[in-house]
Amino acid sequence: MGIINTISRAELAAIAAAVTIGYSHIATDSLTSLHQIKKQLSHPNLHRHHIHGDVLQSIAKAIRQSPSPIYFFKVKSHAGIIGNVHADALAKKSATTYSDLVDTSIRTAGPEGNPFYNIHWLAKEDIENQTQNHTHTINMAHSPPPKLWYLPNHRDALQAHMHVLHKPGNAKTEANYHAYYQTLIKDGTANGATSNAYLTSSDVPFKTKCIIMKYRTGTLYNQKHAVLFKLSTSQTCPLCPRVDSALHILSGCQHTQIRNMITERHTLACCMILKAIRKTGSFGSCIVSKDIGSNRRMTMQNLQIPKTAESRIVPKWLFPPRFSDKDRFTSSRPDFVLVTLAAAKTQKQQTNVGGWVLRSGRGQLRETGSTSAAPPATSRASNPRQHRPKDLSKPRRDIHFVEIKYCEDTRPQNQLNAAKEQHKDLCNILQGASVTLHIILLDHHLQHSHSEAFQRTGS
């Protein structure tokens, strides 16, 4: 007896007995057995873990060692064939009387016919049955071992079992991270498919994906965790005097080396966006200033900056005539300043603040709380190359600020408001038909440039 003693094993054992005794013409009504024997002879490596592998190996060995060829025939079952009828009768007799048995020299696979005796599987105790029988076994010297039930799988069944015993609970839907993400989804700022595109990207290493996931879930180790786990008594960053956190690690640490890394990351992102702007028609020649690194750094990125954009400071001719140079030098400096030909429908000077958020490397720019859209597409058609930005009069020029910032994945609104506040005074001072602030917020894990996503900045 055993868990492998099935009708298939019995039919294979009968064939093994016939081959062992020396029969050369064997007829059977089991097509499955014939297929298994053929497979064992042609592809034995596929039967290394077969439940009847021991029987198949003995049949194959006997066939190979036989001095004469052995022929197998498939016959119909229960069709009145004399040999098949006698075989069925002998099988029934042997199952009831255990007489006239033939020794095939086939050993049982494992204790009690269990070939999986050395394989372990998770199981749980039958708590309900054990509780009911507790009163019957309380007076016994040795209680019987508890009955075990195999878990059908290692996912849902294991999770349900662990939740009953250890009470780990599900994700907290009232926690801050869940509330932040739900807010981003409801207001349209975040897109689940694009925001999680890095998980399936082959360009992002696995370790980087783990770090991003830890950052998103608030489990990126910092001094706050060290205090929580009683490994430290201070939440201060070990490199600078500020309070440590996940956001502090990525963009807030004041240590010289970390600050250089953060600046370099911002410069690379600006270079990617600048390349995209230069590809959108004639907008490359509309750049009048940039504050994204030295000219040598731009050359390393294969960027050719027009002569009108060599300055880091907003040009003087955009300010009122009596505006002092001291105030101009101390005013805010956007990453890019573009001057384009004003649209025909623009009648008076206005200040627009367009907030745009790029939620992932494969995402698209989304508007968040802007009071107006980007300049109309008609400005591109009416912006010929012969118009130099400096030659445009005040009523004929549109001024565009491009500010690039890294933001928290769950709370981009903080950086959006900071950018608006940073350039609020400058937007009110400059003179033109319109002044528009374009804010591009990047997640900390963004590492790809996509030109089509940034074309809306100046179109």
pLDDT digits (tens, 9 = 90+) for 199-216: 888 888 999 899 888 888
Count other Cβ atoms within 10 Å, centred on residue 174. Answer: 6
Determine the average pLDDT of the residues in 102-109.
57
Residue closest to 224 by CA, chosen among 212, 215, 236, 240: 236
Question: Which among 3-17, 75-89, 147-161, 394-408 has the top mean pLDDT?
Answer: 394-408
The domain ranges of the chain are 7-113, 123-166, 176-257, 268-457
> How confident is the model over 60-91, as pLDDT tens digits?
999 999 999 999 999 888 888 888 888 877 77
pLDDT category of residue 459 using cuts at 50, 70 and 90: very low
Q: Does residue 223 have a pLDDT over 90?
A: yes
pLDDT of 458 over the 70 cut: no
**pLDDT of 115 higher than 80:** no
Task: Centre a 10 Å sphere on the Cβ of residue 130 and count the other Cβ atoms it contains.
Answer: 14
Assign 98 a pLDDT band (cuts: 50, 70, 90).
Answer: low
pLDDT at 356 over 50: no
340/171: higher pLDDT: 340
Calpha distance 33→26 (Å, rounded): 12
Strand partners of residue 350: 434
User: Which range in 153-157, 264-268, 377-381 is most confidently predicted, on average pLDDT?
Assistant: 264-268
Residues 6+ apart with CB under 8 A from 210: none
The model's confidence at residue 167, banded by pLDDT at 50, 70 and 90, is low
Contacts of 219 (CB under 8 A, 6+ apart): 225
Helix (H) or strand (E) holding 125: strand 123-125
pLDDT value at 292 more than 50: yes
Tokens 């749980």, residue located:
124
> Where does the pLDDT of residue 170 fall: very low under 50, low under 70, confident under 90, or very high at 90 and above?
low
Whole-number average pLDDT of the chain? 75
Q: Are strands 365-367 and 350-358 parallel, antiparallel or unpaired?
A: antiparallel
What is the pLDDT confidence band of residue 128, given thresholds at 50, 70 and 90? low
pLDDT at 226: 92
Closest listed residue to residue 379, CA positions, set 283, 292, 269: 283
So what's the pLDDT on residue 441?
82
Is residue 140's pLDDT more than 70? no
The DSSP string of 16-51 is HHHHHHT-SEEEES-HHHHHHHHHHHH-GGGGTT-T
What pLDDT, on the 0 to 100 scale, is given for residue 234?
92
Q: Which residue has the tokens 């879930």?
A: 217
Name which of 250, 251, 225, 222 is nearest 238 in CA terms: 222
- Homologous superfamily (CATH) for 7-113: Ribonuclease H-like superfamily/Ribonuclease H (3.30.420.10)
- Among 43-57, 208-222, 235-249, 382-396, the range scoring the smallest mean pLDDT is 382-396
Please determine, for residue 373, whether its predicted confidence score (pLDDT) is greater than 90.
Answer: no
Cα–Cα distance for residue pair 332/60, rounded to 1 Å: 85
pLDDT on residue 124: 82
> What pLDDT is recorded for position 70?
92
Q: Taking the alpha carbons of 252, 256, 261, 264 in that order, is the dihedral positive or negative?
A: positive
Instruction: Specify the pLDDT at position 172.
Output: 67
Average pLDDT of span 452-457: 37
- pTM beyond 0.85: no
| Element of type H or E holding 435 | strand 434-443
CB atoms within 10 A of CB 14: 20
Helix ranges, 116-253 (H): 127-132, 134-137, 156-166, 176-186, 192-195, 206-217, 223-228, 246-247
- Does residue 291 carry a pLDDT above 50? yes
